[in-house]
Structure 1
Amino acid sequence: MEGLKVWRLSSSIARPSNLRQLFGLGTSSGLVRCLDNGAAAANATNTRFPSRNRRASTSTSTSTNTSDREAVRAIRLKKVEQLRSKGTEPYGYKWDRSHSAKELQEIYKDLNNGEELDSESHHVSIAGRIVARRAFGKLAFLTLRDDSGTIQLYCEKERLLNDQFEQLKTLVDIGDILGASGSIKRTEKGELSVKVDSFSILTKSLLPLPDKFHGLTDIDKRYRQRYVDMIANPEVADIFRKRAKIMREIRKTVESRGFVEVETPVLQGAAGGAEARPFVTYHNSLGRDLYLRIATELHLKRMLVGGFEKVYEIGRIFRNEGISTRHNPEFTTIEMYEAYSDYQSMMDMAEEIVTQCALEVNGKLTIDYQGTEIQLQRPWRRETMHNLVKEVTGVDFTELEDDLKVAKDVVLKAVGLGLDSKDKSSIEACPSLGHLLNEVFEIFVEPKLLQPTFVLDYPIEISPLAKPHRRHAGLTERFELFICGRELANAFSELTDPLDQVM
């Protein structure tokens, strides 16, 4: 039996590359990991201790910013009162849109500069947030953004009814959400515009958007207030759209192979399926502690015991541990189990899932990741951990005796030059040859695995739930997938011997 766990898709940084938008794969024998959108800001902030003057400066700046925001809010609240006094509700109920900004840009992409289409058939209605505005006497230009893109509102005083133009100039602010209708025009400078006949304030914004020129640059705020991040940095929203595409493609791919999606309990009587510290809560009616799950593994295995042969779950996982841009206490996993299969089959599955997702999101299998061109074309390299360590360090662990001290001396002699004290201590602390092999791999080999590589046959000491290798004693039928020096998947032939499991 083979299991696959795919972990959460997400955007842990403000501008993740295409690779990050893919995800992590693995098996639980298989398990794929992906970071959460809210990945901790704690690691993203500057850890240097500022001087007292700098702290004072920061404090003063924060105080000034807060004061400015409150002043802006007070002014805008008065505008809300003014609108209502004129019989205008600044928080509308509905607006009928005929087009999105992107649709208009596509439909009228061939309209010439200076050309205007004023017939009824070219009368449109749009809605979105105002992100820029300029006013010149009897003419005003506003940039409207919806979730598809931007378009300009071209506003003439003579064209608007009653005192709408004065409202536009005095009561509409950047950040407000407007609905507008009018005809289509392309300005002499080539800007496609809606020549506004009428508009309505649908939501009056009480606080200003982040500074136009500097945007939202505070890393902590970007993680904790994603909605503000998306307003200030519209490209961030593309991460969420790509994630949704990936999730759909994963479901499509695995279900085409006959897998059934299930949901298993989030609250559990015991935290199992992984080594992690759980979040604890209390169930009043039962009068007992329960745990937010740290893995979906155990309940999925029970589905196979009950008769299912191919199951998977996309579920939320909670681990009360460290936090960084690579690890979040709350994330999503995709975990899969398949009866009558082994880790070779799961490698094929991992390849198919990643390549199909890449094609769906990027339309190609070549991805530029931070200046490195990643080739996702199949088949991907498959190599044992022993061979990779030998290839990089020159140390052949198959020739080392069982004497751990001698093995450490050989390793340190081969790689000790330039080794920092932390890595040296980690090597010296290894309790077994298997741990030593894995430590050398993580330090020296893992960062060099840029192109897709399946690392096979892990030591039994570090793979407690994997089936022993059918040909090589001391090893297991387990793989991990690495791309760009990062583990994206973990999988193995599931250990099914109940006597071995309890040892």
Structure 2
Amino acid sequence: MDEQKELTESETLELVKIRKEKLSSLVEAGKNPFEITTFDRTATTKEIKENFEKFENQTAVVAGRLMSKRIMGKASFAHIMDGDGKLQGYFSRDDLGESEYADFKKLDIGDIIGIEGFIFKTKTEEISIHAKKVTLLAKSLLPLPEKFHGLKDPDQRFRRRYVDLIVNPEVKEVFVKRSKIISTIREVLDKKGFIEVETPVLNTLAGGANARPFITHHNTLDIDMYMRIATELHLKRCIVGGFEKVYELGRQFRNEGMDTRHNPEFTTIELYQAYADYHDMMDITEELFTAAANKVCGGLDINYQGQQISLKRPWERLTMVEAVKKYTGLDFEKGNLKELIKKANDMGLDMPSDTSWGNALYKAFDTFVEEKLTGPVFITDYPVEVSPLAKKKKDDKRLTERFEFFLFASEGGNAFSELNDPIDQRARFEQQMLNKAKGDEEAQPYDEDFCNALEYGMPPTGGLGIGIDRMVMFLADSASIRDVLLFPTMKPLKEARGKDSDNKTEEGADVKSEPEKIDFSKVEIEPLFKEFVDFETFSKSDFRAVKVLACEAVPKSKKLLKFTLDDGSGESRTILSGIHEYYEPEELVGKTCIAIVNLPPRAMMGIDSCGMLISAVHSEEGKTKLHLLMVDNRIPAGAKLY
């Protein structure tokens, strides 16, 4: 049977049964491969291919996964794959003997085998190993597809990364590059005299960034603790304590939305240098990126999703005021604030007339400018309102010595001339607490111990934070953060086995499950409309079944999800819906929903939303509850509702 095709479920079950029977036969014959504890190989596939002259006609021992097999009577060819690549093997009955050759023919694609033999080239000049002995090292019980169906379904690729890595060498290469990027960063910083330190992952306060933390509980101390959202405040304590150059490369955790650029746990590099400022941090940023690009891309011209830029130094540097003026025409240096707010609102913002100068500047930049920054470019001098840990500029107290750098319209890192004035720091923490009282869940807590540390004296310091995952995305040309995380966070799926077990007794008899009892006693609904709508008006509303082809969070929005839908017309439809608080994008892909499709396009965050998805909304104990209306997947796209 040809296993290198996408198998049906019944075919897969039959193959698994056959493979398990083969394993049982091996065990009965005293050849259980899982009892083997080690295998002494003498070379890898890469070593043999790169040094053929050395290995030619010499005996070698290799090991790897059987990836293909061609039985040709008394002789056969096969390919094995190890951690470095593939190597062809030649197997003949005359060399192996009838019994061992028969065992070889029973091997399955995916089995782990060892081969002892001599190295040669075939008539077609392919470097190969002429097998003298074959050892089964591990039996594969599940068949490998030729092209894992996860390639068509990204969700499955990420859930079963181990299969993705086996059948797609280019996927593995991304993680090889990731490792090289991280080692290059460490190498650069170590040479510059930085010391790598480790700070707590569990904290009693979640500070150092504006983000929502994960909360856990310490049973012995009987206190809630927070997974760290940043390493900043502990690393600054190290500077206070006398370390002059420190960095930490590690995981951060933020209990926020997931999309192509965000995962709840992610990796950053944060570094701090005494007697330095944000200009020094720009130089280090350029040095880290250029060193990593040379290492994994072979140069400074990089291509990302069809766009090409050069990382050659120096990178462009613009103040935020300059960037907003360049890309929008809004002049926050000389313009009247109320007029600027009105012009920005006319362009699509919705700012109150009493918005502060700094918040207005930042919102204009965030909404209109960032998406235009192909880069590489440093955007400097951020408003103090959005920079609670950065030092104010001497010549304009509305601004701070802070920058973010951008590549391909995406922010790649953040840096400050660090605030070391304890009095100013206390005032900013107090403002953060006021923001929290007004409902800002991401406002930073008041860290009294950190303020105490600053009161002992912290030298002028430059600090830099870079998102490693996004850096790898740029340099490995990966569209999604999940492509550069070996095992990204995924919503658990209830397996069929678990579903079956829910409705069976210990003896295995089916038990009819009781319908779930739902308490609606605390539900509040909006009053029904008293005004009637005539049938002619109602009939003009075109309700259709739509299939969710793709779903992602809208950048810069905490509420909006962008749906790409099949409405049966043959062309994809885009609809934006403010339901991110209730659903993660990944769980909606593949669902069948209901939408009104004949509403006029409405611009939302610069994207035309062509229609409206239907949801059911009610209140319960003062909280709004929302359920996106999802129907049977057997309903085809475009089916009209009456």
Q: Which residue of 2 aligns with 1:240?
A: 175
> What does residue 448 of structure 1 align with?
372
Offset at residue 239 of structure 1 (A) = 1.5
Q: Partner residue of 2:551?
A: none
C-alpha distance in 2 between matches for 1:264 and 1:110: 49
Q: Deviations over 1:253-304 (max 9, x none)?
A: 1122221111111111121111222212221221222111111112111111
The equivalent residue for 1:382 is 317
Helix, strand or coil for the counterpart of 2:33? coil
1:233-272 equivalences in 2 (<5 Å): 233-272=168-207
Structure 2 equivalent of residue 309 of structure 1: 244
Which residue number corresponds to residue 459 of structure 1?
A: 383
Matched, 1:499 2:442: no
Give runs of aligned pairs for residues 201-350 of structure 1, distance below 5 A.
201-212=136-147, 216-350=151-285
- Asked whether the equivalents of residues 112 and 138 of structure 2 are also in contact (C-alpha less than 8 Å), the reply is yes
> Retained in 2: the 8 A contact 1:177–1:202?
yes
> 2:343 is matched with which residue: 410, 430, 454?
410
d(CA) in 2 for partners of 1:160 and 1:188? 21
Q: Does the Cα contact within 8 Å between 2:341 and 2:353 map onto a contact in 1?
A: no
**Given that residues 100 and 148 in structure 1 are in contact (C-alpha distance below 8 angstroms), is that contact kept between their aligned partners in structure 2?**
yes
CA contact (8 A) 1:216 1:232 kept: no
- Is 1:142 equivalent to 2:78 in the alignment? yes
Residue of 33, 37, 45 corresponding to 1:101: 45
For residues 430-449 of structure 1, the aligned pairs below 5 Å read: 431-449=355-373
- Name the residue aligned to 2:410: 486
Which has the higher mean CA deviation after the structures are superposed, 226-235 or 208-217?
208-217
SS at match of 1:87: coil
For residues 169 and 162 of structure 1, the distance between their equivalents in structure 2, rounded to whole angstroms, comes to 11
Post-superposition offset of 1:110: 11
User: How far off its partner does 1:217 sit?
Assistant: 3.2
Instruction: Kindly provide the amino acid, as one letter, of the partner of residue 461 in structure 1.
Output: E
Alignment partners' CA distance in 2, 1:110 and 1:218: 44
Quote how far apart the aligned CAs of 1:429 are: 8.6
Rate the CA distance shift 1:492–1:239 in 2: closer, same or farther, 3 A.
same
Q: Report the counterpart of residue 356 of structure 1 in structure 2.
A: 291
Tell me the CA shift for residue 431 of structure 1.
2.9
In percent, how many aligned pairs have the same letter? 48
- Larger mean CA deviation between 452-461 and 387-396 belongs to 387-396
Q: CA deviation at 1:66?
A: 4.2
Of 182, 186, 193, which aligns to 2:128? 193
Larger Rg: 2
Amino acid of the residue matched to residue 85 of structure 2?
Answer: G
1:131 maps to a residue whose letter is M
Q: Which amino acid aligns with 2:21?
A: K
Amino acid at match of 1:84: V
Distance verdict in 2 for CA 1:87–1:481, change over 3 Å: same
Amino acid of the residue matched to residue 360 of structure 2? L
1:411 is matched by which residue type in structure 2? A
Instruction: Give the residue type in structure 2 aligned to 1:242.
Output: K
Change in Cα spacing, 1:146 to 1:426, as seen in structure 2 (3 Å) is farther
Q: Which amino acid aligns with 2:305?
A: Q
Q: What secondary structure, in the 3-state scheme, does the structure 1 residue paired with 2:169 have?
A: coil
Q: Report the residue type matching 1:87 in the other structure.
A: G
- Is contact 1:128–1:179 with CA below 8 Å preserved after alignment? yes
Give the distance between the partners of 1:72 and 1:451, measured in 2 at CA. Answer: 52
Partners of 1:236 and 1:302 lie apart in 2 by: 39
Name the SS of the counterpart of 1:399 in structure 2.
coil
Contact 2:330 2:340 in 1 (8 A): no
Check if 1:127 corresponds to 2:63.
Answer: yes
Asked if the contact 1:430/1:436 (under 8 Å) is kept, the reply is no
Q: Which letter does structure 2 place at the counterpart of 1:80?
A: L
Aligned partner of 1:88 in structure 2 is 31
The code of the aligned residue for 2:61 comes to S
Partner Cα separation in structure 2 for residue 368 and residue 133 of structure 1: 37
The answer (yes or no) to whether the contact 1:450–1:483 under 8 Å persists in 2 is: yes
8 A contact 1:323–1:329 mirrored in 2: yes
The one-letter code matched in structure 2 to 1:278 is P
Question: What number of residue pairs does the alignment pair up?
Answer: 421
In the alignment, is the contact (CA less than 8 A) between 1:102 and 1:148 conserved in 2? yes
Distance 1:145 1:495, change over 3 A: same
Structure 1 pair 445/65, CA: closer, same or farther in 2 (3 Å)? same
Q: Which stretch of the first structure deviates more once superposed, 78-87 or 208-217?
A: 208-217
> 1:75 pairs with 8, 13, 18, which one?
18
What 5-or-longer segments of structure 1 have no aligned partner?
A: 1-61, 112-116, 417-423
The aligned counterpart of 1:166 is 102
How far residue 175 of structure 1 moved from its aligned partner, in angstroms, is 0.4
Amino acid in the other structure paired with 1:108: F
Give CA-to-partner distance per residue, 1:93-132, whole Å, 9 cap, x none. Answer: 2211111111111122899xxxxx54xxx11110000111
CA contact (8 A) 1:215 1:232 kept: no
TM-score, length basis structure 2: 0.63
Partner of 2:212, secondary structure, is coil
Deviation larger for 360-369 or 436-445: 436-445
SS at match of 1:438: helix
Deviation readout 1:434-465 (Å, 9 max, x if unpaired): 22222222233222221310111111221121
TM-aligned CA distance change 1:137 to 1:453, over 3 Å: same
On the 8 A contact 1:457/1:478 being kept in 2, the answer is yes
8 A contact 1:426–1:439 mirrored in 2: no
CA distance in 1, matches of 2:270, 2:75: 58
Q: Which runs of 5+ in 2 are unaligned?
A: 1-5, 428-642
Bigger shift: residues 351-360 or 187-196:
187-196
Distance 1:196 1:277, change over 3 A: same
Tell me: CA distance 1:291–1:473, structure 2 relative to 1, closer, same or farther (3 Å).
Answer: closer
- Return the offset for 1:220: 1.0
Change (3 A) 1:464 1:160: same
